[in-house]
A and B are shown apart, each in its own frame.
Chain A
Amino acid sequence: MAKKTLRTLIGATLLAAAGLAQGDEPRVVAVTQIVEHPALDAVYQGVRDELAEEGFTEGENLKIIHESAQGNAAIASQIARKFVGEGPDAIVAIATPSAQTMAAAARNIPVIFSAVTDPVGAKLVKSLEAPGANITGVTDMLPIERHIDLLERLVPDAKTIGTVYNPGEANAVALVDLLEERLQARGLTLAKAAATKTSEVLGAARSLVGKADAIYLTTDNTVISAAEAVVSVGERAKIPVFAADTATVSRGAVAALGFDYYDHGRQTGNMVARVLNGANPGEMPVESVDTLNLFVNPAAAERMGITLSDDVLNDAQEIVKSDK
């Protein structure tokens, strides 16, 4: 009898110790990113800040491992294996190639993707509403309809919208296809100019002169890297240039109704926190960015031959002053 009590007591102590150890052990979040550039780095920063706000403090109850594949597919694959082998509590995969590689390697570990434009097309999830397996995340699909609304409001007589894009970038191609479809539905046409490298952006933008009444740039990495080239063409040929991301407005675009990749990262971090608190990723619908801000640049508008009305200026969250 005494023996039995003793055994129970030891068992209970061990269990309690195990419970304590688990409580003390920091949660591990591994972040893989295909390449380093400002938008994707901002996502990573957003994830960290949001986790901190949700009560996961680095160095105390949270450990973050971060690796970048520098655009190399084979290294991305090895990063994925490293993470799966270490068995973290959650994995964040930033951008489409990293997310696909992670999806191929991870079976049971929750994966939360970020900065993926078309998660269904990339076969990461079965549907946006019910991802199903161990993967969910935040898509950076642009609110194209609202962007076209803005274009129609700012340049009402535009018939042809021009865009410069890189046909080698998955996200950009998905967006341009969607843009073309939605413009056609409203009786507008899209004039496309391809640039496979930043050095080709200027020539591509020039080819739109005489064809396009306005230029709209999606979140294409190649083109946004060389946005100034498009802006200079817009100024010389008096074609207003609009962007999908707000950062380009301070670089000379007329306006953008966009989101910040930092906020995108915050939203991703929020999903990670929910997974760490026990939520099942397969039951969490894919989220899209919810905060949109209107940025306008009146000086740029003037240089490109249009005037921003007072009600547009009133609607803007930020009026960029660039005098050059």
Chain B
Amino acid sequence: MLSDIALYGAIETGLIYGLVAFGIYLSFRVLDFPDLTVDGSFPLGAAVAAMLILAGWNPWIATGAAILAGMAAGAVTALLNVKLNILNLLASILTMIALYSVNLRIMGRPNVALLTEETVLTPWYDLGLAYHQVPVVLFVIVVLVSLILLWRFMKSETGLAMRATGANARMARAQGIATGGMIVLGVALSNGLVGLAGALFAQSQGAADVTMGVGVIVIGLASLIGGEAVITPSTVIRALIACVAGAIIYRLAIAFALNAEFLGLQSQDLNLITAVLVTLAIVLPGVRTSVAAKLTRNKA
């Protein structure tokens, strides 16, 4: 029912959004910082990578620059919050809106095509794999490397301090942790990951477009929450694996919805389905706990 190409396409997009989910895990779960900057830093990563590739840079270095650009955007949001005391959600909305203009400035126009340029994917096509398998192989490696680096970071002293900041900022300060610095670092890392995702997406899609960030936060959240519903995030490594699993499952669900003519589903319905799924994923674990609580109370 699902063709090979559609299946690999779903996994490919899922892997890219797995990086977004890593970023949202860092800001939303670890730091408890609802961050809408990602709707701007995703196209920012795409724009920076695209322009540098067009300027003749090595695509990997261009992708690295996209990560740095995303980190800078995240740092701006965090500084607005930490230094100017602007509510975190509002701070991220301000940066997101500003990034729309910044992205237009970077690209000089709303859409920059990469269809004929050399990208990080180009050399991999010579390996003899099927055309649609190449991005999956490369992105699996990128996601694995990011996962391991993130995991090790979270276990480091700085990572532990960051987790403490998110869990209880007052207690963390009492322990001598500079919580403001932790928020800046965490939100910057988060948006660096999203910038990386944007850069890879533009290279696999053949274009950077200023509108491609629309809804990234919702899809990232859907991936994160969906993944947590499947794999209980009891440890950091499980939480990170859940991010990737959730992103891929979400993409597979869309691929099936696109193929589910027999259910009467159309792509027009996807936004509604996403909203319903996210709501269910948020509500269901709570329902389960309250039912469990009731049962135990009755027993007692």
Using a CB–CB cutoff of 8 Å, the interface residues on chain A facing chain B are 36, 67-75, 77-82, 84-86, 96-97, 100-101, 103-105, 107, 121-124, 167-170, 173-174, 196
Interface mask (B102-121 → A, CB under 8 Å = 1, otherwise 0): 00100001110111100000
Closest to B97 in A: A196
Q: A71-B214, A82-B3, A82-B258 are in contact. List 12 more A-B contacts (CB 8 A).
A: A67-B266, A68-B268, A70-B271, A74-B201, A75-B267, A78-B10, A81-B132, A81-B255, A86-B3, A122-B207, A124-B115, A173-B109
Q: Residues of A contacting B34 with CB < 8 Å?
A: none
Q: Residues of A contacting B7 with CB < 8 Å?
A: 85
Closest to A65 in B: B261
Q: A-B pairs with the 6 shortest C-beta distances? A: A81-B9, A85-B3, A85-B5, A104-B206, A123-B113, A170-B111
Q: Are A73's CB and B206's CB within 8 A? A: no
Q: Residues of B contacting A97 with CB < 8 Å?
A: 111, 207, 209, 211-212
Q: Residues of A contacting B3 with CB < 8 Å?
A: 82, 85-86
Q: Residues of B contacting A105 with CB < 8 Å?
A: 5, 9, 132
Q: Is B100 an interface residue (CB 8 A)?
A: yes
- CB-contact partner of A73 in B110, B205, B266, under 8 A: B205
Subset of 9 A-B contacts with CB under 8 Å: A72-B214, A74-B219, A78-B9, A78-B255, A81-B255, A82-B6, A85-B4, A123-B113, A170-B209
**What CA separation (Å) do A105 and B9 show in the bound complex?**
9
Query: In the assembled complex, how far is the CB of residue A282 from the closest CB belonging to chain B, in whole angstroms?
Result: 15
Closest to B4 in A: A85
Interface mask (B248-270 → A, CB under 8 Å = 1, otherwise 0): 00010011001100000011101
Using a CB–CB cutoff of 8 Å, the interface residues on chain B facing chain A are 2-10, 13, 16-17, 100, 104, 109-111, 113-116, 131-132, 201, 204-207, 209-212, 214-215, 219, 251, 254-255, 258-259, 266-268, 270-271
Q: Are B131's CB and A73's CB within 8 A? A: no
Q: Are B110's CB and A82's CB within 8 A? A: no
Q: Are B212's CB and A73's CB within 8 A? A: yes
Closest to B7 in A: A85
Q: Are A77's CB and B271's CB within 8 A? A: no
Query: In the assembled complex, how far is the CB of residue A210 from the closest CB belonging to chain B, in whole angstroms?
Result: 26
Q: Are B113's CB and A100's CB within 8 A? A: yes
Q: Are A173's CB and B110's CB within 8 A? A: yes
Known interface pairs A123-B113, A196-B100; A168-B201 also in contact (CB < 8 Å): no
**What CA separation (Å) do A293 and B87 show in the bound complex?**
54
**What CA separation (Å) do A161 and B8 show in the bound complex?**
50
Closest to B104 in A: A167
Query: In the assembled complex, how far is the CB of residue B226 from the closest CB belonging to chain A, in whole angstroms?
Result: 15
Q: Residues of A contacting B207 with CB < 8 Å?
A: 97, 100-101, 104, 122-123
Q: Are B111's CB and A67's CB within 8 A? A: no
Known interface pairs A36-B268, A70-B267, A123-B113; A168-B100 also in contact (CB < 8 Å): yes
Q: Are A82's CB and B214's CB within 8 A? A: no
**What CA separation (Å) do A77 and B16 show in the bound complex?**
12
Q: Residues of A contacting B201 with CB < 8 Å?
A: 73-74, 77
Known interface pairs A72-B215, A85-B4, A104-B204; A169-B110 also in contact (CB < 8 Å): yes
**What CA separation (Å) do A174 and B111 show in the bound complex?**
10
Q: Residues of A contacting B17 with CB < 8 Å?
A: 74
- CB-contact partner of B211 in A68, A82, A123, A168, under 8 A: A168
Q: Residues of B contacting A82 with CB < 8 Å?
A: 3, 5-6, 9, 255, 258-259
**What CA separation (Å) do A81 and B268 show in the bound complex?**
17
Q: Are B109's CB and A78's CB within 8 A? A: no
Q: Are A101's CB and B109's CB within 8 A? A: no
Query: In the assembled complex, how far is the CB of residue B244 from the closest CB belonging to chain A, in whole angstroms?
Result: 16
Q: Are B111's CB and A68's CB within 8 A? A: no
Q: Residues of B contacting A84 with CB < 8 Å?
A: 5-6, 132
- CB-contact partner of B254 in A71, A78, A123, under 8 A: A78
- CB-contact partner of A100 in B13, B206, B211, B259, under 8 A: B206
Q: Residues of B contacting A77 with CB < 8 Å?
A: 9, 13, 201, 204-205
**What CA separation (Å) do A105 and B113 show in the bound complex?**
14
Q: Are A168's CB and B210's CB within 8 A? A: yes
Q: Residues of A contacting B111 with CB < 8 Å?
A: 96-97, 100, 122, 170
Query: In the assembled complex, how far is the CB of residue A248 from the closest CB belonging to chain B, in whole angstroms?
Result: 22
Closest to B255 in A: A78
Closest to B268 in A: A68
Query: In the assembled complex, how far is the CB of residue B256 from the closest CB belonging to chain A, in whole angstroms?
Result: 10
Q: Residues of A contacting B131 with CB < 8 Å?
A: 107
Q: Residues of B contacting A75 with CB < 8 Å?
A: 254, 267, 270
**What CA separation (Å) do A7 and B7 show in the bound complex?**
41
Query: In the assembled complex, how far is the CB of residue B289 from the closest CB belonging to chain A, in whole angstroms?
Result: 32
Query: In the assembled complex, how far is the CB of residue B273 from the closest CB belonging to chain A, in whole angstroms?
Result: 11
- CB-contact partner of A121 in B4, B16, B113, under 8 A: B113
**What CA separation (Å) do A86 and B5 show in the bound complex?**
8
Q: Residues of B contacting A85 with CB < 8 Å?
A: 2-7, 9
